[in-house]
Amino acid sequence: MASTSLSHDVFQRSIVQPLLTDLYQITMAYAYWKSDKCSDFAVFDLFFRKNPFSGEFTVFAGLEECLKFLRNFHYSESDILYLKKTLPSVEEEFFIFLSNLTAKDVTLYALPEGSVVFPRVPLIRIEGPLPVVQLLETTLLTLVNYASLVATNAARYRIAAGPNIKLLEFGLRRAQGPDGGLSASKYAYIGGFDGTSNVLAGKLYNIPVSGTHAHAFVMSYNSIDECNIKMLRNRSTGEEENFVDLCIQHQQELSRFLKVLCDEASAGELAAFVSYAIAFPDSFLALIDTYDVMRGKIPSPFALRSGLLNFCAVAMSLNKLGYQAIGVRIDSGDLAYLSKVARETFTKVANQYKLPWFHNLIIVASNDINEDTILSLNEQDHKINCFGIGTHLVTCQKQPALGCVFKLVEVNKQPCIKLSLDVSKVTIPGCKNAYRLYGQDGYALIDLLQQTEEAAPQMGERVLCRHPFQESKRAYVIPTKVESLYQKYWENGKVCCELPTLIDIRQRVKSSLQTLRSDIKRNLNPTPYKVSVSDQLYQFMHNLWLENAPIGELS
C-alpha cells in the first residue's frame, strides 16, 4: 500500500498545484500585495446554493484532496518563470513573495467527508492571510464541486436500486478525460457503488475492480473450430478433459429440454463462451446479447435461442469439472423482460438438473442506465442483481455542475455581506458554526447556523430557528440530539486530525443518509430539508444588510 499511496500522491501533485487556478486569483493576490494587505486576516466560506438533480440532499466529498493540496501548496521555480512571462508588468518582489508561500498560516474547518449536506451551510471554512486564502479558491472549488456531484449522483443511484443490488461504475470511456474518470471512480465508490471497471482507480484507491468481455470478443469467433485450446483441468480429479466436446453435448441436451433449436444458436458465440470459460473457469460471466434473433414481428428471446442457451451449456460443463459460473450480462433490449426470461431459464435448469446454485446466477444489466431507468425497472419487477452504469453516472447528465461558491464573509474580524437583487445570492456574513438538530423520531430535523461567539444549542432546550431571509418563517425546536458539524482539519501547516479511509467515508455516506427521512430522499417531489439561522445571527445579518444597502432617492 505504501508504493500505491506514493504513486497516487505523485499523480495528485502533478495536476493539483497552485497554477490549477484562474488568472484573476493571482492578479487579485498581486493587488492585495501591492496594497499592503498581506497581513489582513480573512474568512471564506465554501458552500452551494441549491441541491443537484432536483433533489433535497447533497453528499460532501473531496476534502481529503483539498488537504493534500494544502500540504503541497508551493510555487515551483518553473511556476514562477511562467508567471513572470504571463504577467510582465508585475514587480519582481511579488514573485519572491509567491515563491515563499505555503499554507502554514491557513486554518481549515469542515464537515466530515461523506456527510449529507444542504444549501448555504458552509462545507468548508478557511481562515488565513487574505491573499493566500484567495489563491486557494479555484483549486478548492474544482476539488469539491465534481467530487460532491458524483458522490451525490452515486448515492441517488444506490437509493433507487436499494441496498441489495450490486452497482458497478463503468464510466471511464465516457468520462471527461482521465482525471475525470479517476475522480468519478473514486467518488462513485464513496457514494455507494460496489466497484469499478477502472483498473487504475482500483490500484490507486483500492476499489474492487470488475468486468467481463465485450461484444467484440464474441464477434471475433465464427465457429467452434476456432477454439484452439479444448482441454480444461477437472478440479476434482486433476485430469485434463475435452471441454469443447462437453459444452457441445450440454448444448444439445439443453436445446431439447428448453425446446430451442441448436441451429438457431450462434456457433461463434458458443466458441467465444467456451474460450472465455477456459481462460476464467472460476469467474465466467458472459455477455449474452450479441446476437438477437427475430421471428416475424415479435422478437424471439435471444436469451433462449442463442446467448442464454450457449451460456447455460458452458456453465453446466464448468460445473461438471468442479467450477461454478458467475452469471450473464445484458447490454441491450428490454432489460426487465429479458432479466425475467433469464431468471426463469436458470430456475428451470436448476430444478431439472438438481443444481441449486443455478437459481442464484447473477444477471448484470448495462445499456445506458440512469436513475429513472432503475426506478422504472423496479416497477416492472425486474430480476437484475447488478447494474453497470457509465455515462449518466460519471458525466452527471441530469445536472453537469454542483455550483459551489467561495465567498468572503469576514476580514480582520469585520463581517462582510454580499448583496444582490437575487436574494439567493446574498451571503450569510461572519464566522459561523453549524449544528444539526434531531427530532424525537431520531431523524435530522434542521441545520442551524450561529455566530461563533454564541453558545451551542443544547439537547432538550428550546432554540429559536429562523429562515435566513423570510421574517415570518421561524420555529422553536427542542432537539433530542445536537450534532456539531465542524471539525478542524488543517492548522500550522499540517493536517491536525486523523483522516478516515475511503471505506470509512463510504460508511459515513451510508450512515449519514440514514439520518434523513425517506420523504427527503425520494426521487419525486422530495420534501425540502430546513436550514436556519439563530435569532442573533438573523438580527445581525439583516442590520448589516440595511447598513450596506444603498438608499434610493425619489424626486
What's the number of CA atoms in the CB half-sphere (13 Å) around residue 50? 9
Place 297 in a pLDDT band, splitting at 50, 70 and 90: very low
pLDDT number for residue 8:
59
pLDDT mean over 501-514: 98
Q: What is the pLDDT of residue 192?
A: 98
- Average pLDDT for 463-492: 97
Decide: 456 and 414 in contact? Cβ < 8 Å. no
Say if residues 531 and 449 touch (Cβ distance below 8 Å).
Answer: yes
Cα distances (angstroms) measured from residue 395 to each of 73, 149, 157, 398, 446: 29, 10, 14, 9, 31
Q: Which helix (H) or strand (E) holds 342?
A: helix 335-353
Helices (H), 280-322: 302-305, 307-320
Among the residue ranges 113-122, 194-203, 255-264, 507-516, the one predicted with the least confidence is: 255-264
Pick from 465, 446, 444, 448: which is nearest to 517 by CA?
444
Distance from C-alpha of 122 to C-alpha of 108, rounded to nearest angstrom: 12
The Cα–Cα gap between 464 and 285 comes to 58
Is the distance from CB of 515 to CB of 443 less than 8 angstroms? yes
What span, in angstroms and rounded, lies between the C-alpha atoms of 169 and 154? Answer: 9
pLDDT of residue 419: 83
User: Is the confidence at residue 9, as pLDDT, over 80?
Assistant: no
Question: What gap in Å lies between CA 396 and CA 22, rounded to an integer?
Answer: 24
**Is pLDDT above 70 for 4?**
no
* Cα distance between residue 295 and residue 293, in whole Å: 7
pLDDT for 3 beyond 80:
no
Q: Contact at 8 Å (CB) between 143 and 66? A: yes
At residue 2, the 3 state secondary structure works out as helix
Q: Can you tell me the distance from the alpha carbon of 260 to that of 305, in angstroms, rounded to the nearest whole number?
A: 6
Q: Among 7, 345, 387, 347, which Cα is nearest to 171's?
A: 387
Q: Which amino acid is at 384?
A: I
The Cβ-side half-sphere exposure at 36, using a 13 Å CA radius, reads 0
β-strands 195-196, 166-169 pairing = parallel
CA 54 vs CA 26, 51, 156: distances in Å: 35, 7, 11
CB atoms within 10 A of CB 323: 19
Cα 431 from Cα 428, distance rounded (Å): 9
**Other Cβ atoms closer than 10 A to 180:** 17
Confidence at 2, pLDDT banded by 50, 70, 90? very low
pLDDT for residue 133: 98
* Structure confidence at residue 79 (pLDDT): 97
Beta pairing, strands 285-287 & 327-330: parallel
* Residue 172 amino acid letter: L
Strand partners, 446: 437, 530
Look at residue 447 and tell me whether its pLDDT is greater than 70: yes
3-state secondary structure of 179: helix
In DSSP terms, 484 is beta-bridged to 435
For the segment 110-122, the average pLDDT, to the nearest whole number, is: 98
Section 44-54 average pLDDT: 97
pLDDT in tens, 302-318: 555 789 999 999 999 99
Q: What is the pLDDT of residue 489?
A: 98
The angle subtended at Cα 192 by Cα 190 and Cα 196, nearest 5°, is: 75
Mean of all residue pLDDT scores within the chain: 93
User: What gap in Å lies between CA 275 and CA 254, rounded to an integer?
Assistant: 20
**SS3 of residue 189 by DSSP:** helix
Give 11's pLDDT tier (boundaries 50, 70, 90).
Answer: low
Distance CA(131)–CA(412), nearest Å, equals 13
Instruction: Tell me the per-residue pLDDT of 121-168, one tens digit each, with 9 for 90 and over.
Output: 999 999 999 999 999 999 999 999 999 999 999 999 999 999 999 999
CB atoms within 10 A of CB 233: 16
Per-residue pLDDT, 292: 61
To the nearest whole percent, how much of the chain has pLDDT over 90? Answer: 87
% the chain with pLDDT above 70: 95
- State the Cα–Cα distance between residues 73 and 298, nearest whole angstrom: 63
